[in-house]
Structure 1
Amino acid sequence: MSDNHEQSAIPEGSALHPDALNQATKAAQEAFATAANLDQLAEAKSAHLGDKAPLSLARREIGSLPGKAKASAGKNVNIARTAVSEAFEERKEVLTAQEAARILREETVDVTARLGGKRAGARHPINAKIDAIADYFLSLGFEVADGPEVDLEWFAFDALNIHPDHPARTMMDTFHIADSNGNAGSGLVMRPHTSTVQIHTMLERKNPPIYTVAPGRVYRTDEVDSTHSPVFHQTEGLVVDEGITIANLRGTLSHWARAMFGEDAEVRFRPSYFPFTEPSMEVDLWFTAHKDGPRWIEWGGCGMVNPRVLAACGIDPEKYSGFAFGMGVDRALMLSHDITDLRDIIDGDIRFPLGLRVEE
């Protein structure tokens, strides 16, 4: 039986008729080709490949055909559906590529653009400077020590060779803590220097060597002005070992000065007096980046640890010697960043951590 004979079993107007199948195929291909985006393509697919599409209806009619006409009709329907499916996939590939290109073009994020709204917080420059100092001394093999900010007078004075009747005791301008009844004489003070940490360290480590640095907050009864504050920050260094001399002290401070202030930085020593060191010296820094030109600037105090301080902490001064030094962190920050008023550091203006000068 010829195909024409088999097709003659399919009446005109049937969804299985070759003309109907051709028409359905062309209509689907045109619908897919004219779809402008993936949403329109999805609608066209439902109309031409869905359950109620002409080709789906034609497939349902195959069972009603007689004999071999079923096979021929099924073949024709499959050919039509294959052509329609291929047209759909081709158009989908084109539209998907177009959509991806559109997203890249229209939704690109400029990662270099400055964000609007509120800025996130930042570390305060004082904390950053303390961390930098600690990291430097850690690189030399020192340990970083910490201690209480409210301490016994014995740690703040007596152990440091500053006895109750010592004139230097009145020079500290110390905050004394009252007892529970509000009376003076509790024996507690707000530490006036981080030298108290050195005493705690030596008492805990009675067997040198000791190489430690103690940055931290200290308190004195100063009025706030451009160069003073009742709360400020110091870095105390302590070395106790056999055979320590002033040469070791000078080498340590010279190297630290160059690390903090540049290779042109130099230090010089001037005789001075501190109860807890003997001999004692003031340290000046040759600072080349000063706004008024290179000059010597007072940097801090230092000296060889007084044997009485070593003995008070249970360390044999006949066997061990050491040196100590103390520098202001706030002062170092002011020098490094050309800050002329200490109040810029402490007044809480959020622009200051960003390096912006605060102008009245």
Structure 2
Amino acid sequence: MLDLALPTTLGATAVVYRLTCPLARDDALGARLVSSAVLCAAGTGLVLHVRRGLLRELRRARRVAEAAQSVLLRPLPPRVDGLAVAAVQLSADQGARIGGDLYEVVATEHGVRAVIGDVRGHGLGAAGTVAAVLGSFREAVHDEAELAGVLRRLERAVARHLRERAGAEDAPAGAADGPAAEEFVTVLVLEILPDGEVRALNCGHPWAYLLSGARAEPLVRADPLPPLGPFPLPSELPVVPCGRLLPGDTLVLHTDGAEEARDADGRFFPLRDVLTDAARAHPPTPRAVLRTVLEALVHHTAGPPKDDVALLVLVNERQSRRTPSGTRESARPATADLRPTDRLRFPA
């Protein structure tokens, strides 16, 4: 009733003026100017009323989107079991606050487990798949003692979601026709044990970067498994050992939207070089790393990214372990002469 009161009053005023006021029927110039002013005022009032209503709806929609994002891609705590944490997600769809990228970090009895992923597509259309992956991950990390079990749970969750989208609940995974059959999700799942040992399983996702000293290098260079969705995972899921995350070391997990961002000349964003610059800060805090990367990314693309971008930064703030002699324990094995078949590729 209150929403209708103002436009009804303005409309009634214009009609009454037109029907009863002598000036409305006077052809003199002054009378016409007065009539025009009255009608213009009534029309302006209606436009402003509609505008205020639209702004209220927009603010309400934004509040709903923020609430949905806080549940789906909830804010991470600043510290998780001795690891400093920071993350950011940028949606390429300006009309959506939830994109197709996902991340999560959870402290469990099996160690700190983290995931970062990228759903094919971006914006609101990918939100359902993001919800399926994150919901499964948040349960599986506590239930599954092995990292391979966590990845199996994610695979089943994605398969169920795609079957539901395809409208074929009893169809085998990946067999449904239509757009849902072409969907896939890349994920990188990490496990960081109390002694800093890092293990990973990668399904078609870019490997994380390790910032140690003043260098930024890929964590490992092993070939990833296929993405979740199109094909079933192999029967054996060997976990990739990634050495140890020493106190002060930083892991930067990212989606391909960061590395594949282009400038006006078509050049890719030099993520590794930017991370090397960030590694020179002592000590590199998670927020400082994010700020350095985001500023460089926006400068490189001269505007918002064309694809969803997610960054997850983990800094080991645990106390260093000491050997009986009092020296710091070497937590990362030397790997200078690794063969192509070896999993650890990062040099000491």
Confirm or deny a common fold (TM above 0.5). no
Bigger relative CO (Cα 8 Å, ≥ 6 apart):
2
TM normalised by structure 1 equals 0.23
Q: Which of these two proteins has the greater Rg computed from alpha carbons? A: 1
TM normalised by structure 2 equals 0.24
